[in-house]
Structure 1
Amino acid sequence: MDETVDRQWVADLVRATIEEDLAGGVDVTTTATVDPDQVSVAELVARGDGVVAGLEIAELVLRQVAAPDVLEIEYSVRDGASVHAGDVLMTVRGKTRQLLTAERTTLNLLCHLSGVATLTRRWVDTIEGTGAVIRDTRKTMPLLRSLEKYAVRCGGGKNHRMALSDAALIKDNHVIAAGGVAEAFRLVRKAYPDLSIEVEVDSVEDALIAVESGAELILLDNMAVPLLREAVEKVAGRARLEASGGLTLDTARAVAETGVDFLAVGALTHSAPVLDIALDLQEA
């Protein structure tokens, strides 16, 4: 994890996920079948090709369940690495009961975050060389935003705002409530003179109104490629432009080649399939 991730918050999240799995009790199957003194080596192994994210979080889960006993952990790769089916990501030695009790929570987080990183890398690779940047959105799972946005970075994407207070995004409902694009921009600028403001528009005309109002970043919502190209031409570099809405991997490159600066992709976090990863005990 990097410095943008609050480690104390992650530690609290890990504790909560473990408590959810144990529900105040014990792992009855593991307790019944495994001697309390048995020690094993386990490997976290990729079952598919992709990009890894969340190995340090996996370690936190394992150590939390193992405490106060000590685990021996060896990393084979680090977050952001491209891996293939069969690659060992991490090797862990510790009490067998603890390894098996921690297995599902460990994999739930690691597989999901690696899935986000893997999908992000596909988008990034698709538009490589165009000059455009893939960005995420706030369409994240509740309470997992910080980690999911970290996974996006592991996949080579960039983050949009983290929370509603980080920057202003004037959307269509704000425009309706305020009485127009120009008035909505004026009100936000008056209330927060130093804050970054992005304006969402669905027409080239409104994009030009936003530029003339002083907007430096404009979100072009659900515009077809010809309209995106027209918006880029008419805005003529006076503001950065972000395409959003209805984007797919099949159309991403065509959108990026219009000259927009960003592609905002909610699917990175709300629709990423997991990267299949397993925890395999090794024979003694």
Structure 2
Amino acid sequence: MRVTDREVETWLREDVGHRDVTNHVPGETTGRLVAKEAGVAAGLDAATAVFDYLDVDASAVVDAGDRIEPGDPVLAVEGPAESVLRGERVAVNVAGHASGVATATRRAVEAAREVDDDVAIAATRKTTPGLRGVEKRAVAAGGGDTHRLTLSGMVMVKDNHVAEMGLEAAVRHFREEKSFTAKLEVEVESPEDGVRAADAGADIVLFDNMTPDEVREGVELLPDGVLAEASGGIGIADVSDYAATGVDVISMGALTHSAPSLDLSFRTGG
């Protein structure tokens, strides 16, 4: 899921509009993207793609996943001043947003590691439309798991499916529909329903919107070989409590939909 020229063109068209007088600056220039706060770098491939599209030479100074401190350069560019200035804001926005996601993910991973070395921190499909690839790569840069990238990656039986078909019937239906290569996950809202889902044939049971104590009970009831996942309103401050329940995965929509952008600044010349 790399950034495409079509994506970059859409981002630039949104920012430039039909007439850009602001950036009619002659000559050549250099520029650099600089961190203004500590965090984890991400989105530099997308920022580079913006400048590449504008025929500006751009190269990342750090790798995705690297820790950065205030004042650290993360990207260097050289080219026509008009093009450099035209790509500046889009590049800053996308890299800042991605670095914010990576930074939040790293904090969640570190909180989990204080309790359990094996529990995975995962993203969800609660991504910004048009930016899923950028955000999922940022999660990976932060040390998290991307979870399913699209609906085709795994079958998930959710509350609406259960409401329409019943839990056991929904699991049977989707086990018949899915490929043998795809896992089947079932979302449940009580520890007891986790057992029902496992007995019906779930590969993974998602304990949704439960307290850590409820999740722990659900995990203890599951048979061997069934993975356990916790999700639903979990913030970084809650990670250690959920990591102690014995789950295999903690998935957090907040990594992508609520992470604040990392403060980055673009400076030209010198």
TM-score by length of structure 1 reads 0.90
Mark the structure with the bigger radius of gyration.
1
Residue type of the partner of 1:259?
Answer: G
How far the C-alpha of 1:236 sits from its partner, in A, is: 4.2
The equivalent residue for 2:42 is 53
Code of the aligned partner of 1:30 = N
Q: How far has the Cα of 1:276 moved from its partner?
A: 0.8
CA contact (8 A) 1:211 1:238 kept: no
Alignment of 1:154 with 2:151, yes or no, is: no
In the other structure, the counterpart of 1:75 is 60
What percentage of residue pairs aligned between the two structures are identical? 39
SS for the counterpart of 1:44 is strand
Please show how residues 82-121 of structure 1 align to structure 2 within 5 Å: 82-121=67-106
Distance (whole Å) between structure 1 residues aligned to residue 60 and residue 75 of structure 2: 5
Tell me what 2:109 maps to.
124
1:232 to 219, 229, 233: 219
The one-letter amino acid paired with 2:41 is V
Residue in structure 2 matched with residue 164 of structure 1 by the alignment: 151
Superposition deviation, residue 246 in structure 1: 2.2
Residue number in structure 2 paired with 1:198:
185
Matched letter for residue 271 of structure 1: S
Counterpart position of 2:259: 272
CA distance in structure 1 between the partners assigned to 2:49 and 2:225 by the alignment: 46
After TM superposition, the structure 1 stretch with the greater mean CA deviation from structure 2, 149-158 or 221-230, is: 221-230
Instruction: Give the match for residue 210 of structure 2.
Output: 223
Which segments of 5 or more consecutive residues in structure 2 lack a partner in the other structure? none
Amino acid across the alignment from 1:244: S
* Aligned 8 A contact 1:200 1:221 in 2: yes
Matches within 5 A, 1:6-21: 6-7=2-3, 10-21=4-15
Aligned length: 267
2 CA distance for matches of 1:168 and 1:265? 18
Q: Secondary structure at the match of 1:127?
A: helix
The reply on whether 1:41 has 2:30 as its aligned counterpart is yes
State which drifts further: 199-208 or 158-167.
158-167
The counterpart of 2:244, out of the listed 250, 253, 257, is 257
Judge which range, 120-129 or 186-195, deviates more: 186-195
The CA RMSD over aligned residues, in Å, is 1.4
Q: Deviations over 1:46-84 (max 9, x none)?
A: 01111111112211111222x3xxx44343211111101
Name structure 1 gaps, 5 residues minimum: none
